[in-house]
Structure 1
Amino acid sequence: MKKKIYILLVALISFVLFVWGALYLNERLFQGEYYHYEDGVTIEVTNSSDEELTNLSFIINPLFQDLGSIRSLEPKESRSLYIPAINKVGNDRSLYLKYLNNQMREEQVSLAYLASYNPRKIVVILDITGKDHMGRFLYRVKGFDNVSHFEYEITTHEDN
């Protein structure tokens, strides 16, 4: 009788460890390079342009959760913002960058569409490569939104 209990206990512990390991491995593989980022919102901004960038603001719409801002970013400089808590996102689920163009008009661009209504982790890696003649940013973005990976590049604007 003791032998059966011992075998059952070992089998149960082995099963729990297997399930835990499989879930861990699945999450690790799914998140890929973004696994080491903490839950919350992480925004990494690099200025690869030759100009100083000023007054960059980040928000999540529609609740307009203020994610923070970067007052100044010198050429070849990088900065990170980390926000540990994410408000519920709702229907219009985008993370936006706001800045002023050459005419001092506010530009607002969506950096990431958030597929989840209540994301646990959002990572955005933004590399600003330059500006067009109107002062609108040209950039590369990659990241993770708790559901999928994304990557794209804006090298020109249609109304140039």
Structure 2
Amino acid sequence: MKDMDESRQNLIELLHKQFRELSSRTVLFHHWISELLDLNTIDHKCLDIIVKSDSPLTGAQLANITGLSSGAITGVIDRLEKRGYVIRDRDLKDRRLVYVKPIMSRIEKEVFPVFNSLHEIMTKVYSNYSNNELESMLDATTKINQIMNERTKEIMEKISQRKTTKKWVGTLE
């Protein structure tokens, strides 16, 4: 950063601060959305993954996407099913496979309306920018999401390594 002029350094620092703020606001927003929907935050975000998926997911696929254990995912699916947001559907050809399918009528009625006003407001904000500016924002956001995904995987790997390197330190007597 020493090669950058001071105004550019300041802009980059302001972006860092704004993204940290956005991160905090996003976590808090989803926490309170979860409370409103009577879900915990992990269940809420897993539901989002299920809804956005191009095809029904198995519990194992959801565990792989989230990094959660199969036991934790079973609990998530149980709670989402109890709330009426998903159903479990066995594969007719391979009965071992159970797909988690969203109940879109319920989700459209209860979940989507919570986000509609935010979507409208964000659309108004975006409308103030040119197509070139929007393309730049999309490019930056896409790259930032990729970086966040990579860093998340790195952290998950460190946690996994930490769990496997812990040793029992007691003595047998």
TM range (shorter): under 0.3
Name the one with the larger helix percent: 2
**Normalised TM-score (structure 2):** 0.26
Q: Which has the higher contact order (CA 8 A, sep 6+)?
A: 1
Name the one with the larger strand percent: 1
